Amino acid sequence: MSERSIAEARALLLAHYDAHKRAMPWRETKDPYAIWVSEVMLQQTRVETVIPYFQRFLARFEGVRALAEAPEADVLALWSGLGYYRRARMLHAGAKHVVREHNGALPADIDALKKIPGVGDYTAGAIASIAFDLREPVLDGNVERVLSRLAAMPGDPRAKTQRKSLWDLARAFARDPRAGDVNQSLMELGATVCTPASPRCLLCPVRAHCAASAAAEPERYPEKPPKKAPRAERWTALVVRDERGAFWLGPPPAHLDRWKGMLVPPLALDGAALDGLRDGPVIAEVVHVLTHARMQITVRAASFIDDAAPAREGSFVALDSLDALAIPKVTRVILDAVAQAGEESTAVASSRKKASIRPRKGRAKKGSSPPSRT
């Protein structure tokens, strides 16, 4: 695209953004910390899902220092259900870095922002442009799609050559006093008009500057390779309950970083045995799909063998306490399956004596679990 075409498209984008931008709480502030939190939460997560998490997070951790000083378990608890928990851990680590290196204030410098743990080119550009009005570009999935179509750019957008071209084009769009709004207008257009499938080209403010639309093939771009199917995994989840009906939850297997610092039922991959536990009847078969893995989970009732309970790291947790703890969605999926199946198959365990299986009448009410960036 020529400089003139970019300038004209930029003006049209800003006018459209001013008239049609969606209301979002992080758009009501220039606070770098709030913008940082929102950008991390919005990675691979829908806007409507993020809003309540964002509001609760800022109510609990009002600033960088509050976040840095909080236990990781508290941070993960507020993130529970949002998924991609590495984001929360890196945000926590990043806050500690900002306190240590910048006295708790996010730096208004792109290079310094990129040195914060978990802050890459995109997040640094978003904070710099939106919070500090620096003319820095962003390139997330939405912007990548919009720019690929405007330029009708062939090839895999993740390949080195195409990636550089996209960043160069994003940088050209950001050369404006309202760089933050320009960046957000590109993201907004990709989320609401220039969508992956069935883009609404007739409503697009920059249609006259779009090479893909002119060729009547907008959905051709970006030319991403087919996604790999998630690998299949077979798991066993063992459900142990005490006399009160509380569930035994503890840390995930040592070799699994997936839910590090969070609480799950005893889990075993590919039929591996779990020390100190006796399998009981099958309660349910459930599927939990992650970005790179499809977990087929056999949920079994179980009991502790003799006095094995105190030797295992974890504790019995009542259902009404889950919201205050760091619980990944897979835990809720498993416990929901137990509730759906009813209590007749669950085991009741004692930490000091062998547990027994007690059938119970009735059916528990189905539980609920909290629901990519759009």
Cα separations in angstroms, 255 against 84, 90, 251: 17, 20, 11
**CB-CB neighbours of 353 under 10 Å:** 12
Q: Which member of 39, 144, 188, 343 is catalytic?
A: 39
The beta strand positions in 189-252, using DSSP E, are 231-241, 247-249
Q: Residue 300: how many CB atoms within 10 A of its CB? A: 24
Q: List b or e across 31-66, with b for residues whose CB sees 16 or more CB atoms inside 10 angstroms.
A: ebbbbbbbbbbbbebebebbbebbeebbeebeebbe
Strand partners, 278: 303
- Contact between 154 and 204 (Cβ < 8 Å): no
39 among known catalytic residues: yes
Q: How far is CA 84 from the centre of its chain?
A: 4
- Pairwise CA distance, residues 290 & 230, whole Å: 8
Helices and strands, counts by H and E, the chain: 13, 8
The span from the CA of 231 to the CA of 209, in Å, is 41
> Which residues are known to be catalytic?
39
